[in-house]
Chain A
Amino acid sequence: MKTTVVSTSIFAAQVAIAAAAAVAWEFVSRRGIVNPELLPPLSDVLATLWQLLHDPRFLADLRVTAVEVLVSFLIVAPTSIVLGFFLAETPAVARLVNPVFHALMAIPKSIFLPIFILALGIGFTQKIVFGAVLAFFVIVVYAEAAVASVPSGFVTLGRAIGASRGQIYARIYLPAMLPLIIAGLRIGFIFVVTGVLLAEMYSAPVGVGRAIVHWGEYYEIRKLLAAVLLIVFACIVINQLLEAWERSSGTGRFNFGAIA
Protein backbone atom coordinates (compact mmCIF):
# COMPACT_ATOMS: atom_id res chain seq x y z
CA MET A 1 0.00 0.00 0.00
CA LYS A 2 2.68 2.44 1.09
CA THR A 3 4.68 1.70 -2.05
CA THR A 4 1.65 2.56 -4.22
CA VAL A 5 1.18 5.93 -2.51
CA VAL A 6 4.87 6.74 -2.85
CA SER A 7 5.03 5.74 -6.52
CA THR A 8 1.86 7.73 -7.27
CA SER A 9 3.27 10.87 -5.71
CA ILE A 10 6.60 10.29 -7.46
CA PHE A 11 4.74 9.98 -10.75
CA ALA A 12 2.85 13.22 -9.99
CA ALA A 13 6.16 14.96 -9.32
CA GLN A 14 7.61 13.61 -12.58
CA VAL A 15 4.62 14.92 -14.54
CA ALA A 16 5.01 18.27 -12.77
CA ILE A 17 8.69 18.46 -13.79
CA ALA A 18 7.83 17.69 -17.43
CA ALA A 19 5.04 20.28 -17.36
CA ALA A 20 7.38 22.87 -15.83
CA ALA A 21 9.94 22.21 -18.59
CA ALA A 22 7.22 22.66 -21.24
CA VAL A 23 6.06 25.93 -19.65
CA ALA A 24 9.66 27.16 -19.37
CA TRP A 25 10.24 26.37 -23.09
CA GLU A 26 7.11 28.33 -24.06
CA PHE A 27 8.06 31.23 -21.76
CA VAL A 28 11.73 31.71 -22.76
CA SER A 29 10.77 31.62 -26.41
CA ARG A 30 7.76 33.97 -26.20
CA ARG A 31 9.70 36.48 -24.08
CA GLY A 32 12.61 36.38 -26.52
CA ILE A 33 15.01 35.18 -23.79
CA VAL A 34 16.31 32.75 -26.40
CA ASN A 35 16.18 33.40 -30.12
CA PRO A 36 12.68 32.26 -31.20
CA GLU A 37 14.13 31.46 -34.62
CA LEU A 38 16.29 28.79 -32.99
CA LEU A 39 13.76 27.72 -30.36
CA PRO A 40 10.20 28.50 -31.45
CA PRO A 41 7.52 28.30 -28.72
CA LEU A 42 6.41 24.78 -27.87
CA SER A 43 2.83 25.57 -28.89
CA ASP A 44 4.05 26.48 -32.42
CA VAL A 45 6.07 23.29 -32.65
CA LEU A 46 3.09 21.20 -31.55
CA ALA A 47 0.85 22.96 -34.10
CA THR A 48 3.44 22.18 -36.80
CA LEU A 49 3.53 18.56 -35.64
CA TRP A 50 -0.27 18.40 -36.00
CA GLN A 51 0.04 19.66 -39.60
CA LEU A 52 2.84 17.22 -40.36
CA LEU A 53 0.69 14.35 -39.15
CA HIS A 54 -1.75 15.28 -41.93
CA ASP A 55 0.95 15.72 -44.55
CA PRO A 56 1.06 12.66 -46.89
CA ARG A 57 4.74 13.17 -47.66
CA PHE A 58 5.73 13.13 -43.97
CA LEU A 59 3.41 10.22 -43.25
CA ALA A 60 5.20 8.28 -45.99
CA ASP A 61 8.55 9.13 -44.35
CA LEU A 62 7.16 8.01 -41.01
CA ARG A 63 5.86 4.74 -42.41
CA VAL A 64 9.20 3.88 -44.03
CA THR A 65 11.15 4.62 -40.84
CA ALA A 66 8.69 2.70 -38.66
CA VAL A 67 8.81 -0.36 -40.92
CA GLU A 68 12.62 -0.23 -41.05
CA VAL A 69 12.85 -0.05 -37.26
CA LEU A 70 10.30 -2.81 -36.80
CA VAL A 71 11.83 -5.23 -39.32
CA SER A 72 15.33 -4.54 -38.04
CA PHE A 73 14.25 -5.16 -34.42
CA LEU A 74 12.26 -8.30 -35.27
CA ILE A 75 15.32 -9.74 -37.02
CA VAL A 76 17.96 -8.80 -34.49
CA ALA A 77 16.05 -9.52 -31.25
CA PRO A 78 15.48 -13.28 -31.62
CA THR A 79 18.82 -13.83 -33.39
CA SER A 80 20.91 -12.17 -30.71
CA ILE A 81 18.92 -13.69 -27.81
CA VAL A 82 19.39 -17.19 -29.22
CA LEU A 83 23.10 -16.54 -29.80
CA GLY A 84 23.43 -15.17 -26.25
CA PHE A 85 21.80 -18.31 -24.83
CA PHE A 86 24.04 -20.49 -26.98
CA LEU A 87 27.19 -18.71 -25.81
CA ALA A 88 26.08 -18.91 -22.18
CA GLU A 89 25.55 -22.67 -22.50
CA THR A 90 28.81 -23.37 -24.37
CA PRO A 91 31.61 -21.73 -22.38
CA ALA A 92 34.26 -23.16 -24.72
CA VAL A 93 32.85 -21.19 -27.66
CA ALA A 94 32.15 -18.15 -25.49
CA ARG A 95 35.81 -18.02 -24.44
CA LEU A 96 36.84 -17.70 -28.08
CA VAL A 97 34.11 -15.31 -29.19
CA ASN A 98 33.58 -13.02 -26.21
CA PRO A 99 36.85 -11.02 -26.51
CA VAL A 100 35.97 -10.26 -30.14
CA PHE A 101 32.46 -9.26 -29.09
CA HIS A 102 33.64 -6.98 -26.36
CA ALA A 103 36.15 -5.35 -28.71
CA LEU A 104 33.42 -4.81 -31.30
CA MET A 105 31.14 -3.38 -28.61
CA ALA A 106 33.75 -0.80 -27.72
CA ILE A 107 34.13 0.70 -31.20
CA PRO A 108 31.78 3.36 -32.60
CA LYS A 109 29.95 1.40 -35.28
CA SER A 110 28.81 4.55 -37.08
CA ILE A 111 32.26 4.81 -38.72
CA PHE A 112 31.32 1.73 -40.74
CA LEU A 113 28.24 3.41 -42.19
CA PRO A 114 29.94 4.41 -45.49
CA ILE A 115 31.03 0.77 -45.94
CA PHE A 116 27.48 -0.42 -45.38
CA ILE A 117 26.28 2.04 -48.00
CA LEU A 118 28.90 0.86 -50.50
CA ALA A 119 27.96 -2.73 -49.87
CA LEU A 120 24.19 -2.44 -49.58
CA GLY A 121 23.20 0.83 -51.22
CA ILE A 122 21.03 3.48 -49.61
CA GLY A 123 17.76 1.59 -49.57
CA PHE A 124 15.64 -0.37 -47.13
CA THR A 125 18.08 -3.29 -46.68
CA GLN A 126 20.98 -1.10 -45.66
CA LYS A 127 18.85 0.68 -43.03
CA ILE A 128 17.62 -2.50 -41.36
CA VAL A 129 21.03 -4.17 -41.49
CA PHE A 130 22.77 -1.18 -39.98
CA GLY A 131 20.14 -0.86 -37.21
CA ALA A 132 20.40 -4.57 -36.47
CA VAL A 133 24.21 -4.51 -36.36
CA LEU A 134 24.16 -1.64 -33.88
CA ALA A 135 21.76 -3.50 -31.56
CA PHE A 136 23.18 -6.98 -32.04
CA PHE A 137 26.10 -6.93 -29.61
CA VAL A 138 24.31 -5.35 -26.69
CA ILE A 139 21.39 -7.81 -26.85
CA VAL A 140 23.79 -10.78 -27.07
CA VAL A 141 25.69 -9.59 -24.00
CA TYR A 142 22.45 -9.05 -22.07
CA ALA A 143 21.12 -12.48 -23.04
CA GLU A 144 24.36 -14.08 -21.87
CA ALA A 145 24.14 -12.19 -18.59
CA ALA A 146 20.50 -13.26 -18.24
CA VAL A 147 21.45 -16.94 -18.33
CA ALA A 148 24.30 -16.39 -15.89
CA SER A 149 21.94 -14.53 -13.54
CA VAL A 150 19.84 -17.61 -12.80
CA PRO A 151 21.05 -19.02 -9.48
CA SER A 152 22.15 -22.66 -9.90
CA GLY A 153 20.16 -23.51 -6.78
CA PHE A 154 16.94 -22.89 -8.73
CA VAL A 155 17.69 -25.86 -10.98
CA THR A 156 18.45 -28.11 -8.00
CA LEU A 157 15.21 -26.94 -6.42
CA GLY A 158 13.30 -27.70 -9.62
CA ARG A 159 14.69 -31.23 -9.73
CA ALA A 160 14.00 -31.77 -6.03
CA ILE A 161 10.33 -30.82 -6.38
CA GLY A 162 9.97 -33.07 -9.39
CA ALA A 163 9.95 -30.53 -12.23
CA SER A 164 10.58 -31.99 -15.69
CA ARG A 165 13.35 -30.55 -17.84
CA GLY A 166 10.76 -28.62 -19.84
CA GLN A 167 9.19 -27.24 -16.68
CA ILE A 168 12.60 -26.18 -15.37
CA TYR A 169 13.17 -24.20 -18.59
CA ALA A 170 9.69 -22.75 -18.96
CA ARG A 171 8.72 -22.09 -15.36
CA ILE A 172 12.04 -21.41 -13.65
CA TYR A 173 14.74 -20.43 -16.16
CA LEU A 174 12.68 -18.25 -18.46
CA PRO A 175 10.93 -16.11 -15.84
CA ALA A 176 14.20 -15.81 -13.91
CA MET A 177 15.96 -14.47 -17.03
CA LEU A 178 13.14 -12.23 -18.23
CA PRO A 179 14.16 -8.98 -16.49
CA LEU A 180 17.61 -8.95 -18.10
CA ILE A 181 16.21 -10.09 -21.46
CA ILE A 182 13.72 -7.23 -21.44
CA ALA A 183 16.43 -4.80 -20.33
CA GLY A 184 18.55 -5.96 -23.28
CA LEU A 185 15.62 -5.56 -25.66
CA ARG A 186 14.92 -2.06 -24.40
CA ILE A 187 18.49 -0.92 -24.93
CA GLY A 188 18.66 -2.87 -28.19
CA PHE A 189 15.56 -1.09 -29.45
CA ILE A 190 17.17 2.30 -28.81
CA PHE A 191 20.22 1.12 -30.78
CA VAL A 192 18.00 0.02 -33.69
CA VAL A 193 16.27 3.41 -33.79
CA THR A 194 19.64 5.15 -33.61
CA GLY A 195 21.05 3.01 -36.41
CA VAL A 196 18.08 3.43 -38.74
CA LEU A 197 17.85 7.22 -38.20
CA LEU A 198 21.59 7.65 -38.54
CA ALA A 199 21.59 5.75 -41.82
CA GLU A 200 18.63 7.80 -43.05
CA MET A 201 20.27 11.06 -42.06
CA TYR A 202 23.48 10.09 -43.81
CA SER A 203 21.89 9.12 -47.08
CA ALA A 204 18.36 8.07 -47.96
CA PRO A 205 15.59 8.88 -50.43
CA VAL A 206 12.85 8.72 -47.76
CA GLY A 207 12.46 8.50 -43.98
CA VAL A 208 12.16 10.70 -40.92
CA GLY A 209 15.94 10.92 -40.59
CA ARG A 210 16.20 12.27 -44.13
CA ALA A 211 13.37 14.77 -43.42
CA ILE A 212 15.12 16.04 -40.27
CA VAL A 213 18.38 16.66 -42.15
CA HIS A 214 16.50 18.32 -44.98
CA TRP A 215 14.66 20.70 -42.62
CA GLY A 216 17.90 21.46 -40.85
CA GLU A 217 19.56 22.45 -44.10
CA TYR A 218 16.60 24.62 -45.11
CA TYR A 219 16.26 26.15 -41.66
CA GLU A 220 12.72 24.85 -41.13
CA ILE A 221 13.25 24.78 -37.43
CA ARG A 222 9.57 24.21 -36.50
CA LYS A 223 9.26 21.10 -38.64
CA LEU A 224 12.67 19.89 -37.47
CA LEU A 225 11.71 20.19 -33.80
CA ALA A 226 8.26 18.70 -34.46
CA ALA A 227 9.84 15.57 -35.97
CA VAL A 228 12.37 15.36 -33.14
CA LEU A 229 9.57 15.63 -30.56
CA LEU A 230 7.64 12.90 -32.35
CA ILE A 231 10.60 10.51 -32.22
CA VAL A 232 11.20 11.38 -28.55
CA PHE A 233 7.57 10.62 -27.69
CA ALA A 234 7.50 7.41 -29.71
CA CYS A 235 10.65 6.09 -28.06
CA ILE A 236 9.43 6.99 -24.58
CA VAL A 237 6.09 5.26 -25.19
CA ILE A 238 7.75 2.08 -26.50
CA ASN A 239 10.18 2.08 -23.59
CA GLN A 240 7.25 2.42 -21.18
CA LEU A 241 5.44 -0.45 -22.91
CA LEU A 242 8.47 -2.69 -22.49
CA GLU A 243 8.63 -1.70 -18.82
CA ALA A 244 4.93 -2.46 -18.42
CA TRP A 245 5.57 -5.87 -19.97
CA GLU A 246 8.28 -6.47 -17.39
CA ARG A 247 5.93 -5.45 -14.57
CA SER A 248 2.98 -7.47 -15.82
CA SER A 249 5.14 -10.59 -15.84
CA GLY A 250 5.65 -9.93 -12.15
CA THR A 251 9.36 -9.60 -12.55
CA GLY A 252 9.40 -5.93 -11.63
CA ARG A 253 9.47 -7.12 -8.05
CA PHE A 254 12.69 -8.89 -8.87
CA ASN A 255 15.41 -8.73 -6.31
CA PHE A 256 18.11 -11.35 -6.38
CA GLY A 257 19.31 -10.21 -2.98
CA ALA A 258 16.16 -11.82 -1.60
CA ILE A 259 16.87 -15.38 -2.69
CA ALA A 260 18.70 -16.50 0.45
Chain B
Amino acid sequence: MSARGIVAGTADAIVVRSVSKSFGAAAGGLKVLDDISLNVANGRFVTLVGPSGCGKSTLLQIIAGLVPASEGEILIEGEPLAGPRPSATGIVFQDALLLPWKTAAQNVEFPLALRGGDATRRRARALDMLALVGLAEVAESYPHQLSGGMRQRVAIARGLVEDPKILLMDEPFAALDEQTRTKMGGELLQIWERSSKTILFITHGLTEAIFLADTVLVMQARPGRIVERIDVELPRPRSYDMIGSEYFGRVRNQIWHLLAEQVP
Protein backbone atom coordinates (compact mmCIF):
# COMPACT_ATOMS: atom_id res chain seq x y z
CA MET B 1 0.00 0.00 0.00
CA SER B 2 3.00 2.31 0.33
CA ALA B 3 3.92 4.84 -2.33
CA ARG B 4 7.57 4.20 -1.69
CA GLY B 5 9.77 1.42 -2.93
CA ILE B 6 8.19 1.23 -6.37
CA VAL B 7 10.38 -0.55 -8.88
CA ALA B 8 10.08 0.41 -12.50
CA GLY B 9 9.02 -2.43 -14.76
CA THR B 10 9.06 -2.55 -18.54
CA ALA B 11 5.26 -2.59 -18.50
CA ASP B 12 5.13 0.87 -16.96
CA ALA B 13 3.90 3.67 -19.20
CA ILE B 14 4.79 6.34 -16.66
CA VAL B 15 7.54 6.14 -14.05
CA VAL B 16 8.21 9.04 -11.69
CA ARG B 17 11.36 8.63 -9.58
CA SER B 18 12.00 10.85 -6.54
CA VAL B 19 10.71 13.99 -8.18
CA SER B 20 10.84 17.21 -6.18
CA LYS B 21 9.90 20.69 -7.28
CA SER B 22 10.72 24.01 -5.69
CA PHE B 23 9.82 27.43 -6.95
CA GLY B 24 12.11 30.36 -6.32
CA ALA B 25 15.65 30.10 -5.02
CA ALA B 26 16.69 26.46 -4.70
CA ALA B 27 17.48 26.61 -1.00
CA GLY B 28 14.99 29.11 0.39
CA GLY B 29 12.29 28.59 -2.24
CA LEU B 30 8.86 27.13 -1.81
CA LYS B 31 8.89 23.35 -2.04
CA VAL B 32 5.68 22.25 -3.74
CA LEU B 33 6.54 18.60 -4.45
CA ASP B 34 8.63 16.44 -2.14
CA ASP B 35 10.16 13.17 -3.28
CA ILE B 36 7.31 11.91 -5.43
CA SER B 37 7.57 8.40 -6.82
CA LEU B 38 4.87 6.62 -8.70
CA ASN B 39 4.35 4.31 -11.61
CA VAL B 40 1.43 3.74 -13.93
CA ALA B 41 1.32 0.39 -15.71
CA ASN B 42 0.36 0.20 -19.37
CA GLY B 43 -3.35 0.45 -20.00
CA ARG B 44 -4.24 1.34 -16.40
CA PHE B 45 -6.44 4.15 -15.20
CA VAL B 46 -4.82 5.90 -12.24
CA THR B 47 -6.29 8.88 -10.43
CA LEU B 48 -4.36 11.31 -8.29
CA VAL B 49 -6.51 12.92 -5.63
CA GLY B 50 -5.56 15.70 -3.27
CA PRO B 51 -6.65 19.04 -1.86
CA SER B 52 -6.28 22.29 -3.80
CA GLY B 53 -2.72 23.53 -3.69
CA CYS B 54 -1.14 20.13 -3.03
CA GLY B 55 0.88 20.41 -6.23
CA LYS B 56 -0.98 17.75 -8.21
CA SER B 57 -1.36 19.99 -11.26
CA THR B 58 2.33 20.86 -11.09
CA LEU B 59 3.13 17.15 -10.96
CA LEU B 60 1.02 16.55 -14.07
CA GLN B 61 2.73 19.42 -15.87
CA ILE B 62 6.09 17.90 -14.99
CA ILE B 63 4.98 14.52 -16.34
CA ALA B 64 3.74 16.29 -19.49
CA GLY B 65 7.19 17.85 -19.91
CA LEU B 66 5.79 21.37 -19.61
CA VAL B 67 7.59 22.19 -16.37
CA PRO B 68 11.03 20.83 -15.42
CA ALA B 69 11.43 18.97 -12.13
CA SER B 70 13.95 20.36 -9.63
CA GLU B 71 15.12 16.85 -8.78
CA GLY B 72 14.34 13.33 -9.89
CA GLU B 73 13.54 11.63 -13.12
CA ILE B 74 10.54 10.85 -15.34
CA LEU B 75 10.38 7.91 -17.72
CA ILE B 76 7.69 7.86 -20.40
CA GLU B 77 7.46 4.45 -22.02
CA GLY B 78 10.89 3.71 -20.61
CA GLU B 79 12.55 6.83 -22.03
CA PRO B 80 13.73 9.76 -19.90
CA LEU B 81 11.61 12.85 -20.43
CA ALA B 82 13.16 16.16 -21.48
CA GLY B 83 10.20 18.15 -22.80
CA PRO B 84 6.67 17.77 -24.18
CA ARG B 85 6.35 14.58 -26.20
CA PRO B 86 2.94 14.89 -27.87
CA SER B 87 3.27 11.65 -29.83
CA ALA B 88 3.54 9.74 -26.55
CA THR B 89 1.36 11.79 -24.19
CA GLY B 90 -1.90 13.57 -24.91
CA ILE B 91 -3.10 16.11 -22.38
CA VAL B 92 -6.50 17.48 -21.40
CA PHE B 93 -6.71 20.55 -19.18
CA GLN B 94 -9.34 21.80 -16.77
CA ASP B 95 -10.39 24.36 -19.39
CA ALA B 96 -11.13 22.75 -22.75
CA LEU B 97 -8.88 25.42 -24.34
CA LEU B 98 -10.50 25.04 -27.75
CA LEU B 99 -9.44 27.70 -30.22
CA PRO B 100 -12.65 29.69 -30.72
CA TRP B 101 -11.96 30.51 -34.39
CA LYS B 102 -11.76 26.83 -35.32
CA THR B 103 -14.57 24.29 -35.65
CA ALA B 104 -14.66 21.21 -33.42
CA ALA B 105 -13.08 19.14 -36.20
CA GLN B 106 -10.37 21.77 -36.87
CA ASN B 107 -9.58 21.93 -33.15
CA VAL B 108 -9.14 18.16 -33.00
CA GLU B 109 -7.02 18.25 -36.15
CA PHE B 110 -4.84 21.13 -34.92
CA PRO B 111 -1.99 19.07 -33.38
CA LEU B 112 -1.71 17.10 -36.64
CA ALA B 113 -1.97 20.28 -38.73
CA LEU B 114 1.07 21.69 -36.90
CA ARG B 115 3.14 18.88 -38.35
CA GLY B 116 1.73 19.10 -41.87
CA GLY B 117 1.20 15.97 -43.89
CA ASP B 118 -1.74 14.72 -45.88
CA ALA B 119 -4.74 16.97 -45.16
CA THR B 120 -7.36 14.38 -46.11
CA ARG B 121 -5.90 11.80 -43.78
CA ARG B 122 -5.56 14.36 -40.97
CA ARG B 123 -9.16 15.35 -41.37
CA ALA B 124 -10.36 11.73 -41.40
CA ARG B 125 -8.39 11.04 -38.24
CA ALA B 126 -9.95 14.09 -36.52
CA LEU B 127 -13.45 12.94 -37.50
CA ASP B 128 -12.71 9.43 -36.19
CA MET B 129 -11.71 10.89 -32.85
CA LEU B 130 -14.86 13.03 -32.70
CA ALA B 131 -16.89 9.89 -33.41
CA LEU B 132 -15.03 8.11 -30.59
CA VAL B 133 -16.19 10.75 -28.11
CA GLY B 134 -19.69 10.67 -29.59
CA LEU B 135 -19.58 14.07 -31.27
CA ALA B 136 -19.46 13.22 -34.97
CA GLU B 137 -22.55 15.35 -35.61
CA VAL B 138 -21.02 18.60 -34.29
CA ALA B 139 -17.79 18.43 -36.31
CA GLU B 140 -18.58 21.73 -38.05
CA SER B 141 -19.79 23.55 -34.92
CA TYR B 142 -17.73 26.23 -33.24
CA PRO B 143 -16.80 25.97 -29.54
CA HIS B 144 -19.27 28.64 -28.44
CA GLN B 145 -22.09 26.58 -29.97
CA LEU B 146 -21.24 23.58 -27.77
CA SER B 147 -22.08 22.88 -24.12
CA GLY B 148 -19.32 22.71 -21.51
CA GLY B 149 -19.40 18.92 -21.51
CA MET B 150 -19.22 18.75 -25.30
CA ARG B 151 -16.27 21.15 -25.37
CA GLN B 152 -14.42 18.97 -22.91
CA ARG B 153 -15.15 15.90 -25.07
CA VAL B 154 -13.71 17.73 -28.08
CA ALA B 155 -10.62 18.43 -25.94
CA ILE B 156 -10.38 14.70 -25.14
CA ALA B 157 -10.64 13.89 -28.87
CA ARG B 158 -7.81 16.38 -29.50
CA GLY B 159 -5.76 14.72 -26.73
CA LEU B 160 -6.17 11.37 -28.48
CA VAL B 161 -5.70 12.51 -32.08
CA GLU B 162 -1.99 11.69 -32.32
CA ASP B 163 -2.72 8.24 -30.90
CA PRO B 164 -0.55 8.66 -27.81
CA LYS B 165 -0.32 5.66 -25.48
CA ILE B 166 -0.82 7.95 -22.49
CA LEU B 167 -3.51 10.51 -21.71
CA LEU B 168 -2.87 13.02 -18.92
CA MET B 169 -5.97 14.73 -17.56
CA ASP B 170 -5.80 17.75 -15.24
CA GLU B 171 -9.16 18.02 -13.47
CA PRO B 172 -10.90 17.92 -16.85
CA PHE B 173 -14.43 17.89 -15.45
CA ALA B 174 -13.95 20.30 -12.53
CA ALA B 175 -15.64 23.19 -14.34
CA LEU B 176 -18.75 21.15 -15.15
CA ASP B 177 -21.90 20.82 -13.04
CA GLU B 178 -22.16 17.68 -10.93
CA GLN B 179 -24.59 15.76 -13.16
CA THR B 180 -22.55 16.40 -16.28
CA ARG B 181 -19.37 15.54 -14.37
CA THR B 182 -20.72 12.15 -13.31
CA LYS B 183 -21.97 11.40 -16.82
CA MET B 184 -18.66 12.47 -18.37
CA GLY B 185 -16.86 10.09 -16.01
CA GLY B 186 -18.91 7.19 -17.34
CA GLU B 187 -18.28 8.25 -20.92
CA LEU B 188 -14.55 8.63 -20.29
CA LEU B 189 -14.45 5.04 -19.03
CA GLN B 190 -16.13 3.87 -22.24
CA ILE B 191 -13.64 5.85 -24.36
CA TRP B 192 -10.80 4.40 -22.29
CA GLU B 193 -12.09 0.85 -22.76
CA ARG B 194 -12.42 1.37 -26.52
CA SER B 195 -9.02 3.04 -26.97
CA SER B 196 -6.95 1.07 -24.43
CA LYS B 197 -4.92 4.07 -23.27
CA THR B 198 -3.02 4.61 -20.07
CA ILE B 199 -4.70 7.43 -18.18
CA LEU B 200 -3.39 9.55 -15.31
CA PHE B 201 -6.29 11.63 -14.08
CA ILE B 202 -6.07 14.42 -11.52
CA THR B 203 -9.03 15.44 -9.42
CA HIS B 204 -10.00 16.78 -6.04
CA GLY B 205 -13.28 14.83 -6.14
CA LEU B 206 -13.15 11.66 -4.05
CA THR B 207 -16.11 9.97 -5.75
CA GLU B 208 -14.73 10.68 -9.19
CA ALA B 209 -11.28 9.46 -8.14
CA ILE B 210 -12.59 6.09 -6.92
CA PHE B 211 -15.24 5.56 -9.60
CA LEU B 212 -12.80 5.93 -12.48
CA ALA B 213 -9.65 4.33 -11.15
CA ASP B 214 -7.84 1.06 -11.01
CA THR B 215 -5.58 2.78 -8.52
CA VAL B 216 -6.03 5.96 -6.50
CA LEU B 217 -2.96 7.90 -5.39
CA VAL B 218 -3.66 10.18 -2.45
CA MET B 219 -1.66 13.39 -2.07
CA GLN B 220 -1.21 15.72 0.87
CA ALA B 221 -0.10 19.33 0.65
CA ARG B 222 2.78 21.51 1.91
CA PRO B 223 4.87 20.01 0.54
CA GLY B 224 2.96 17.89 -1.93
CA ARG B 225 3.63 14.19 -1.45
CA ILE B 226 1.90 10.91 -2.09
CA VAL B 227 0.74 9.38 1.18
CA GLU B 228 -1.25 6.39 0.02
CA ARG B 229 -1.82 4.11 -2.94
CA ILE B 230 -5.17 2.36 -3.00
CA ASP B 231 -6.13 -0.32 -5.51
CA VAL B 232 -9.84 -0.09 -6.21
CA GLU B 233 -11.31 -3.58 -6.15
CA LEU B 234 -14.46 -2.87 -8.11
CA PRO B 235 -15.24 -4.87 -11.25
CA ARG B 236 -15.22 -3.39 -14.77
CA PRO B 237 -17.22 -2.06 -16.43
CA ARG B 238 -18.13 0.29 -13.63
CA SER B 239 -21.74 1.29 -13.08
CA TYR B 240 -23.08 4.33 -11.26
CA ASP B 241 -24.75 2.03 -8.71
CA MET B 242 -21.33 1.03 -7.40
CA ILE B 243 -20.99 4.53 -5.96
CA GLY B 244 -23.61 3.56 -3.36
CA SER B 245 -21.95 0.27 -2.39
CA GLU B 246 -20.52 -0.38 1.05
CA TYR B 247 -17.04 -0.99 -0.35
CA PHE B 248 -17.11 2.33 -2.21
CA GLY B 249 -18.14 4.13 0.97
CA ARG B 250 -15.32 2.49 2.93
CA VAL B 251 -12.65 3.54 0.41
CA ARG B 252 -14.12 7.01 0.20
CA ASN B 253 -14.00 7.29 3.99
CA GLN B 254 -10.40 6.11 4.07
CA ILE B 255 -9.32 8.76 1.57
CA TRP B 256 -11.38 11.40 3.32
CA HIS B 257 -9.56 10.73 6.58
CA LEU B 258 -6.19 10.90 4.85
CA LEU B 259 -7.06 14.32 3.46
CA ALA B 260 -8.84 15.55 6.58
CA GLU B 261 -5.79 14.81 8.76
CA GLN B 262 -4.19 17.72 7.00
CA VAL B 263 -6.82 20.35 7.62
CA PRO B 264 -5.35 22.64 10.28
Contacts and interface: CB of A to CB of B under 8 A. Distances in A.
Given A151-B97, A251-B101, A259-B97, A167 B64 contact: no
Given A161-B110, A162-B114, A259 B86 contact: no
Interface in A228-260: 249-251, 253-260
B144 A255 contact: yes
Interface stretch (A63-71, A102-110, A138-146, A168-176): A168-176
A125 to B, nearest CB: 40
Contacts of A257: 144
Nearest to B147: A258
Contact of A258 (B91, B143, B175): B143
Nearest to A254: B100
B95 interface: yes
A157 B101 contact: no
A159 interface: yes
B223 interface: no
Given A160-B86, A253-B144, A259-B143, A175 B111 contact: no
Nearest to A168: B114
A176 B102 CA distance: 11
Nearest to A252: B101
A161 B86 CA distance: 5
A162 B143 contact: no
Given A253-B142, A259-B143, A260-B175, A161 B114 contact: yes
A157 B143 contact: no
SS class, residues of chain A in contact with chain B: helix
A216 to B, nearest CB: 46
B151 A258 contact: yes
B97 A162 contact: no
A167 B114 contact: yes
Nearest to A251: B101
B43 interface: no
Contact of A156 (B66, B96, B111, B151): B66
A153 B148 CA distance: 17
Interface residues of A, number: 28
Interface in A175-206: 175-176, 178
B248 interface: no
A157 to B, nearest CB: 5
Contacts of A160: 64, 66, 84, 86, 91
B32 interface: no
B192 interface: no
A103 to B, nearest CB: 34
Contacts of B87: 162
B111 A250 contact: no
A258 B101 contact: no
Interface in B99-120: 99-102, 110-111, 114-115
A163 interface: yes
Interface of B: 61, 64, 66, 84-87, 91, 93, 95-102, 110-111, 114-115, 142-144, 146, 148, 151, 158, 175
7 contacts: A154-B97, A157-B97, A250-B101, A257-B144, A258-B146, A259-B95, A260-B148
